[in-house]
């Protein structure tokens, strides 16, 4: 059995390929392709999603992230593609003045964003902060040395990267309009054949929020950051999973969700995450970036 499903639209002008990857439902919409072509494109999309997940997931043993996180202070050489992802993470660390940090993943040891777990004790969060801080890393491509006990986590940028990579691979083979949607982070290569835009609903708990407009996407990426699926609710206060690496805690006053449209899904994801980390100043930050965005509070 194939790990994907292919379904044609009722109008017969497009197919939708569905599968699961990176703990998310994934969709790929392609216009005007035959059934054999759809199967070929499904294999490409699913294969790329699997490659990204297996190569950079912190939960997989034997990959480059596992080698870095178990190096115990020893320098690790990485491949060119991993180096570009590390450079991107380092840039976001700089742009956010330390709020975004590839080494903040160790905080998951005390934070459980399942909607039921209690808040961690401040002392437990503080006890991990010596393991957080990209400024402690020695990074000069292709070599990364982390102090013993520190880890990296590319989860904050990996899914958006997978969307952009998958779209690029499909665009190279499919002379048609393509929309890639991995768990709500998505990108399109061109308008639909009749000139229409792809219509994208702004999600809230997986459903378009009443009263919010649809985004009409003709080309580029859209990404959303927020607390819809991963949060802690304590004393009536909702704590989202986007943590400020400088404190180890969610940012007070952060929006419920931030959705951004940009040239690529990676750029949109970076802007939406960095806006969340600005808390009550999210909209001001996005205005300063001249971003196309929608915020739900």
- CA Rg, the chain, in Å? 20
Look at residue 203 in the predicted model and tell me its pLDDT: 59
pLDDT for the residue 10 = 82
Q: Which residue in 233, 280, 250 sits closest to 125, CA to CA?
A: 250
CA pair distance 49, 147, nearest whole angstrom: 31
Strand 220-226, strand 185-188: pairing: antiparallel
Please, what's the largest Cα pairwise distance for the chain? 59
- Strand ranges inside 141-236, DSSP E: 143-145, 178-182, 185-188, 198-200, 203-204, 207-208, 215-217, 220-226, 231-234
Instruction: For residue 47, give every residue at least 6 positions away whose Cβ sits within 8 Å of its Cβ, in sequence order, or none.
Output: none
**Cα torsion for 17, 20, 23, 25, to the nearest 10°?**
40
Q: Residue 243 phi/psi, 5° resolution?
A: -100, 140
Query: In the prediction, which pLDDT does 210 show?
Result: 61
Q: For position 227, what pLDDT does the model report?
A: 79
Mean pLDDT by runs of 10 across the 297 residues of the chain is 89 90 92 88 96 94 96 97 97 97 94 84 95 96 96 94 97 89 93 85 58 79 85 80 94 91 96 96 95 90
Q: What was the pLDDT predicted at 206?
A: 47
Cα separation of 149 and 214, whole Å?
45
- Give which of 284, 235, 234 is closest to 255, Cα–Cα: 284
The whole model's pTM is what?
0.91
Can you give the pLDDT at residue 178? 95
Within the chain, where are the H helices?
35-56, 64-69, 80-95, 122-126, 155-173, 265-276, 282-288
Q: Can you give the pLDDT at residue 137?
A: 97
Tell which residue, 127, 126, 145, has the closest CA to residue 136.
145
């Amino acid at each position: 059995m194939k790990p994907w499903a292919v379904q044609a639209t009722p109008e017969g002008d497009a197919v939708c390929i569905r599968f699961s990857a990176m703990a998310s439902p994934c969709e790929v919409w392609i216009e005007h392709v035959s059934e054999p072509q759809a199967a070929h494109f499904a294999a490409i999309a699913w294969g790329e999603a699997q490659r990204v997940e297996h190569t950079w997931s912190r939960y997989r043993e034997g990959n480059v992230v596992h080698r870095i996180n178990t190096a115990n202070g020893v320098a690790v050489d990485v491949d060119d593609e991993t180096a570009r992802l590390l450079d991107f993470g380092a840039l976001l660390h700089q742009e956010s003045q330390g709020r975004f940090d590839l080494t903040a993943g160790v905080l998951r040891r005390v934070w459980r964003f399942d909607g039921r777990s209690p808040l961690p004790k401040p002392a437990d969060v503080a006890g991990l902060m010596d393991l957080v801080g990209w400024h402690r890393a020695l990074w000069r491509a292709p070599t990364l040395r982390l102090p013993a006990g520190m880890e990296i986590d590319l989860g904050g940028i990996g899914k958006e990267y997978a969307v952009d990579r998958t779209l690029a691979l499909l665009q190279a083979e499919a002379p048609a309009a393509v929309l890639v949607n991995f768990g709500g982070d998505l990108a399109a290569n061109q308008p639909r054949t009749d000139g229409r835009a792809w219509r994208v609903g702004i999600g809230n708990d997986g459903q378009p929020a009443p009263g919010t407009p649809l985004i009409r996407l003709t080309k580029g990426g859209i990404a959303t950051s927020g607390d819809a699926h991963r949060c802690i609710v304590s004393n009536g206060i909702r704590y989202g999973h986007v943590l400020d690496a400088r404190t180890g805690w969610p940012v007070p006053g952060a929006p419920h969700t931030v959705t951004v449209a940009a040239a690529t899904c990676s750029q949109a994801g970076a802007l939406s995450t960095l806006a969340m980390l600005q808390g009550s100043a999210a909209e001001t930050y996005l205005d300063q970036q001249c971003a196309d965005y929608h915020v739900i509070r």
